[in-house]
């Protein structure tokens, strides 16, 4: 299971921070990568970033300058930070387990984050 | 950058009939393509990977085919619970993952 948490409202220019706790398995598994995907209201899916437990990180080029993904293996936890947010960052954010790097096969429940003052 | 085009945008099908969804990619992705189902208000669910392999627990009425740049998801006999948006996703161009724009399947 992937259990997400984080604020649902963030002010413009501030930093969006989300966490995802992995249960029922180890985030240090060699079989999986861990990632974040978002979905603006009424729109499609956009991959944000992924990470392997060794520390290797991978980012969507369009968001690279504003995003940081991290893993805390001791807590079996995945985190996302997106800075300098604008209204365009309003979306449902999902954490996901990726089989190898390939395809997300388990998803968190999603967190709606609204950017508004 | 890979561009993924799904068609049609909306598909209206009667229960028991076949639904055929298309996904085209701007460059070859070999068989590195997955399909997802997203019901209203829910997270996406993996249906198909490797273009044609059903994920665990997915009913046999869902099948995937294709390779290179043209792919199809077929629902052989549509059930009421299949009303959802369906997305394709390529993973041939790691470290980047790209999703299609989605096809909404409605029950007539």
Instruction: Print pLDDT tens along chain B (108 aa).
Output: 899 999 999 999 999 999 999 999 999 999 999 999 999 999 999 999 999 999 999 999 999 999 999 999 999 999 999 999 999 999 999 999 999 999 999 999
Residues of B within 8 A of A94 (CB-CB) are: 43-44
C-beta of residue B50 within 8 angstroms of C-beta of residue B56: no
Which residues 6+ apart lie within 8 Å of B69 measured at CB?
B24, B25, B26, B27, B28, B29
Tell me the β-bridge partners of A9.
Answer: A114
What residues contact residue A43 under an 8 Å CB cut-off, 6+ apart? none
Please provide residue A111's backbone torsions phi and psi, each rounded to the nearest 5 degrees.
Answer: -130, 120
What is the predicted pLDDT for the residue at A101?
A: 87
Residue in B with minimal Cα distance to A95: B43
Residue in B32, B55, B101 closest to A44 by CB: B101
Using DSSP, how many helices (H) and how many strands (E) does chain B show?
A: 0, 11
Option in A47, A94, A103 nearest B34 (CB): A103
* Interchain CB distance below 8 Å, B43 and A44: no
B91, A61: Cβ pair inside 8 Å?
Answer: no
Residues of A in contact with B100 (CB under 8 A): 44
The DSSP call for residue A73 is: G
Separation between Cα atoms, residue A63 and residue B67, nearest integer Å: 30
CA distance A72 to B33: 30
The reply to whether B64 touches chain A by the CB within 8 Å rule is: no
Flag if A50 and B100 touch (Cβ within 8 Å). Answer: no
């Amino acid at each position: 299971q992937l259990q997400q948490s984080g604020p649902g409202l963030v002010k413009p220019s501030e930093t969006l921070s989300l966490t995802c706790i992995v249960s029922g398995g180890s985030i240090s598994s060699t079989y999986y990568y861990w990632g974040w995907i978002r979905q603006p209201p009424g729109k499609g899916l956009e991959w944000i970033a992924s990470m392997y437990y060794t520390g290797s990180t991978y980012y969507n080029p369009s968001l690279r300058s504003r995003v940081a993904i991290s893993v805390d293996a001791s807590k079996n936890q995945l985190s996302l930070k997106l800075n300098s947010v604008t209204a365009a960052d309003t979306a449902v954010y999902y954490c996901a387990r990726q089989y190898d790097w390939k395809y997300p096969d388990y998803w968190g429940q999603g967190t709606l984050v609204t950017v508004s003052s | 950058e890979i561009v993924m085009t799904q068609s049609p945008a909306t598909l209206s099908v009667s229960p028991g009939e076949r639904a055929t969804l298309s996904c085209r990619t701007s460059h070859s992705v070999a068989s590195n393509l997955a399909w997802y189902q997203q019901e209203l208000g829910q997270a996406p669910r993996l249906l198909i990977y490797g273009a044609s392999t059903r994920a665990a627990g997915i009913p046999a009425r869902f099948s995937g085919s294709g390779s290179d740049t043209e792919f199809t998801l077929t629902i052989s006999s549509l059930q009421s619970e299949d009303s959802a948006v369906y997305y394709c996703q390529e993973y041939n161009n790691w470290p980047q993952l790209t999703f299609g724009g989605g096809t909404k399947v409605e029950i007539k």
